[in-house]
């Protein structure tokens, strides 16, 4: 049973079933998501439209009442009464009659619960009461029930509160406070207190449908009220934590639609629309109204899965007939090839895809025979070539012995220059061929450099002056990658002092905190700024003693060995000279007798040129 699921047929069936299931799930999920987006947008726009209708009607009445209150603030009859000397009974009667006239002409007058105009000293009071039989008259003794009169606070529709002069405890009002201005100097001489009945809002909500698990809130100033049963306003401390705003769903820029989390942690959708300055209606939409019914989608998925299962049965039958038998023949032939039988089997070849595979296996059998014969021939040729290469190699010891013989002949004949130059060359060749260390002490690197300088001095007729300035002999034990200094000095000779006809090359070694600074300074012709950058970044091969160890290679090896903070930097002034500075860590080449070679990593081929 276990092996049956490892066959090509089983894999094909499983892949097709998996692919069909994935496509089905993706299409269903995408359709579900698109329907969710559409239903969410439709629901939000529907709620937005309803809120707009209600808000526009409420806003009209609130605007009428606001204008009514502002009329009292600028009316000359009102200010004449307030500013009249004494009690001003005559002016008060005239102001009251004019106020009643304005009240009767106001379209929203039915929602005016009461209006009180009082001067700053609370000695003159003008009032309009829409239900005098159910109210306590306002006088100088109970005027303090209106708290905000004594805080010089003017606000529009800032809260929902109970009427301080009503006999009933269920007579909620929305207060408005507005100043009365003197026509003489525009100073505030009094205050208008207008109490609008909450029926102004609830009457507009009659017939407004709200789902059972939905809710409607009214924001008044900084207060939030839950509207229950379409008539009661319950102040709530419920706060909504905004998860994300749905800016693309509403049709109006004034509408706020957002996904929020309420105090219980439940994720809901809210749609809010402004009614008037300081007022807004907000409806909570539960996810059940937005998320499509999942039962239908689950049923559809089950039906599709059943169809896929039937398709799998049909595919199994077809594959068993058209694949299993040819595959068994192919497997038998492959086993025969594994045992060394490379004979041709014509029955494997047919017009089907597996027949093409069989034709390929027959061709493979023929090609394997030819390949083995060619491999044997190539191996024989390779061995012959290796033998010839070994014959053509020069024994390094023979080369050293020859150089020593030349040196001895030069000494005998008194040609000391040839002897010294031959000795330096011999030491250089021996260091390159026998010293396999990747990292060496600075004194070994400088010793190798001295031998190189001797050869170059003879080459340039002692026109090169080599100087060394070492701050502390202990610095010579610091580790440095092999062949670091030679390419730099070689560059100083070829591109610095040689074009000038000679010069000074100085090696300066100093300590800086926990680092070692090694400087190669020449007084040659200098290097242009663009070429300085090219020397650090250009990976082209150099043409000196070590053909692949250019300046950029030296910098890369230093960074790779010790880190990004170390490496090579170049400063140069044309016609004055160049300074190449190497920054090394204060690490000795041996720590407690252990060679540091094994501790510093190396890229392939970095030190094998």
Q: Do the two domains 1-292 and 435-598 of this chain adopt the same fold? A: no
Does pLDDT of 546 surpass 50?
Answer: no
pLDDT above 90 covers what percent of the chain? 10
d(CA 179, CA 181): 6
The pLDDT assigned to 383 comes to 66
Confidence (pLDDT) at 517: 95
The model's pLDDT over 457-478, given as tens digits with 9 standing for 90+, comes to: 877 878 889 999 999 999 999 9
Q: What is the pLDDT of residue 212?
A: 78
* CATH for 1-292 (3.40.1410.10, 1.10.3720.10, 3.30.450.20, 3.90.1150.200): 3.30.450.20
Choose between 393 and 69: higher pLDDT.
69
What's the pTM?
0.47
Per-domain residue ranges of the chain: 1-292, 314-390, 435-598
Q: pLDDT band for position 595 (50/70/90)? A: very low
Which of 332-364 are b and which e, b meaning 16 or more Cβ less than 10 Å from the residue's Cβ?
ebeeeeeeeeeeebeebbeeeebeebbeebbeb
How would you list the strands of the sheet with 188-197, edge to edge? 125-129, 112-119, 188-197, 172-181, 161-162
Return the exposure string of 229-264: e unless at least 16 CB atoms fall within 10 Å of the residue's CB, then b: eeeebeeeeeebeeeeebeebbeeeebbbbbbeeee
Query: Does the structure show a pLDDT above 80 at 420?
Result: no
Residue 167 confidence (pLDDT) above 70: yes
CATH number for the segment(s) 435-598: 3.30.565.10
Confidence at residue 592, expressed as pLDDT on a 0 to 100 scale? 40
Whether 519 has a pLDDT exceeding 90, the answer reads: yes
pLDDT digit string, tens, across residues 19-60? 777 877 787 778 777 877 888 888 888 888 988 998 899 899
Better-scored residue on pLDDT, 91 or 354: 91
pLDDT value at 426 more than 60? yes
Rg value, the chain, Cα? 50
Higher pLDDT among residues 441 and 607, named by residue: 441
- Residue 300 and residue 32 in contact, taking contact as beta carbons nearer than 8 Å: no
Given this model, what pLDDT does residue 155 score? 66
Place of tokens 């242009």: 528
For 12-26, 522-536, 552-566, which range has the lowest pLDDT when averaged over its residues? 12-26
pLDDT for the residue numbered 593: 40
């Amino acid at each position: 049973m276990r092996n049956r699921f490892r066959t090509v047929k089983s894999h094909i069936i499983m892949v097709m079933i998996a692919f069909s299931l994935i496509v089905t799930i993706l299409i269903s999920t995408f359709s579900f998501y698109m329907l969710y987006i559409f239903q969410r947008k439709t629901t939000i726009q529907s709620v937005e439209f309803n809120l707009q209708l209600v808000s526009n009607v409420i806003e009209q009445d609130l605007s009428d009442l606001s204008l009514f209150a502002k009329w009292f603030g600028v009316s000359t009859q009102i200010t004449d009464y307030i500013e009249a000397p004494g009690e001003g009974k005559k002016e008060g009667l005239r102001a009251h009659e004019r106020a009643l006239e304005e009240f009767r002409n106001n379209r929203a007058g039915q929602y005016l619960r009461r209006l009180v105009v009082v001067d700053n000293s609370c000695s003159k009071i003008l009032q309009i009461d829409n239900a005098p039989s159910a109210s306590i008259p306002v006088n100088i003794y109970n005027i303090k029930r209106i708290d905000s009169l004594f805080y010089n606070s003017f606000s529009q529709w800032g809260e929902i509160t109970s009427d301080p002069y009503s006999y009933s405890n269920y007579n909620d009002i929305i207060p408005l406070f507005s100043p009365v201005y003197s026509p003489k100097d525009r100073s505030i001489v009094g205050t208008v207190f207008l109490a609008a009945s909450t029926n102004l809002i609830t009457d507009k909500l009659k017939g407004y449908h709200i789902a059972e698990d939905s809710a409607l809130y009214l924001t008044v100033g900084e207060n939030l009220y839950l509207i229950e049963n379409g008539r009661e306003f319950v102040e709530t401390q419920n706060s909504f934590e905004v998860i994300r705003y749905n800016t693309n769903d509403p049709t109006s820029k004034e509408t706020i639609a957002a996904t929020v989390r309420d105090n219980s942690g439940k994720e809901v959708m809210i749609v809010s629309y402004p009614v008037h300055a300081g007022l807004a209606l907000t409806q909570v939409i539960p996810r059940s109204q937005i998320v499509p019914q999942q039962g239908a989608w689950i049923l559809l998925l089950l039906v599709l899965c059943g169809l896929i299962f039937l398709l799998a049965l049909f595919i199994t039958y077809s594959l068993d007939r058209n694949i299993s038998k040819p595959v068994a023949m192919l497997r038998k032939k492959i086993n025969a090839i594994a045992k060394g039988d490379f004979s041709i089997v014509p029955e494997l070849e047919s017009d089907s895809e597996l027949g093409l595979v069989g034709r390929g296996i027959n061709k493979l059998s023929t090609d394997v025979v030819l390949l083995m014969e060619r491999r044997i021939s190539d191996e024989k040729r390779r061995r012959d070539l290796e033998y010839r290469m070994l014959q053509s190699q020069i024994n390094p010891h023979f080369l050293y012995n020859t150089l020593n013989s030349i040196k001895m002949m030069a000494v005998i004949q008194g040609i000391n220059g040839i002897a010294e130059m031959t000795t330096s060359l011999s030491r250089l060749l021996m260091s390159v061929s026998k010293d396999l260390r990747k990292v060496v002490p600075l004194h070994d690197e400088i010793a190798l450099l001295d031998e190189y300088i001797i050869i170059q001095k003879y080459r340039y007729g002692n026109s090169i002056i080599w100087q060394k300035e070492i701050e502390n002999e202990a610095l010579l034990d610091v580790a440095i990658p092999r062949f670091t200094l030679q390419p730099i000095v070689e560059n100083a000779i070829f591109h610095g002092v040689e074009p000038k006809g000679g010069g000074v090359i100085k090696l300066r070694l100093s300590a800086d905190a926990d680092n070692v600074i090694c400087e190669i300074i020449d007084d040659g012709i200098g290097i242009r700024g663009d070429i300085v950058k090219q020397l650090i970044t250009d990976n082209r091969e150099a043409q000196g003693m070590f053909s692949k160890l250019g300046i950029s290679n030296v910098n890369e090896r230093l960074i790779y060995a010790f880190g990004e903070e170390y490496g090579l930097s170049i400063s140069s002034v044309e016609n004055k000279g160049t300074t190449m500075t190497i920054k090394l860590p204060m690490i000795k080449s041996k720590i407690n007798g252990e060679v540091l070679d094994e501790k510093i990593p190396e890229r392939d081929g970095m030190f094998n040129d």
